[in-house]
Amino acid sequence: MLVESLMTRDVESARPESTLAEAAAVMWRRDCGVVPVTDEGGSVVGVITDRDICMALSMRGQRAAEVRVAEVMARGVETCTPVDDVREALEAMARRQVRRLPVVDSRGRLVGVLSLNDVVRHTRKGKSKKRVSRRAALAALRAVCAPHGSGGDEEEAAGEEHHDEAVPAQETEEARGGGDADASD
């Protein structure tokens, strides 16, 4: 499945010279927790999250209208393209421990955002090219939710393997009509 089939297309961005108040207003209007930051040409130069805003304001003791996005935004942002496979995007999210990836065209201009929410809403059982596997979505979510910098320990990994081994038995029961597929999620 390609990123373009899941991504949010109508995305509003902020500029580096925007204030935190302006970025927060975008988040409020769009009901989101991240705003891509673009230059005058529309290329992604960073992202700013609601957490970035809260932490910057609490640490600086300044008003949101006094601080520029460029002062607190994350730079060196991982992106994906509309024609990337969703599994590759999930791997990038897991590797960088982020919940969202800006989607850029071949020139690096913002065309959308892919979020874990977008992916989770499209997860299904089985191996269909029109769906995202539950296993891939859960693996990315586990990695994103892990404490930053943790490599995970062996005991936790063993538990994950054990859990994954139990899934086929559950799917077999559901295939025989013995379970509700959505109730097990």
pLDDT for position 9 = 94
Residues near 119 by beta carbon (within 8 Å), at least 6 away in sequence: 6, 86, 89, 90, 132, 137, 140
> By C-alpha distance, which of 1, 3, 17, 14 is closest to 49?
14
Three-state SS at 120: helix
> By C-alpha distance, which of 100, 47, 96 is closest to 73?
47
Average pLDDT over residues 121-134: 67
Chain length of the chain: 185
Q: Which band of pLDDT confidence, cut at 50, 70 and 90, is reported for residue 122?
A: confident
pLDDT tens by residue, 21-41: 999 999 999 999 999 999 999
Residue 174 predicted with pLDDT over 60: no
pLDDT tens by residue, 54-101: 999 999 999 999 999 999 999 999 999 999 999 999 999 999 999 999
pLDDT for position 156 = 39
Q: How far apart are the C-alpha atoms of 76 and 174, rounded to whole Å? A: 44
Three-state SS at 162: helix
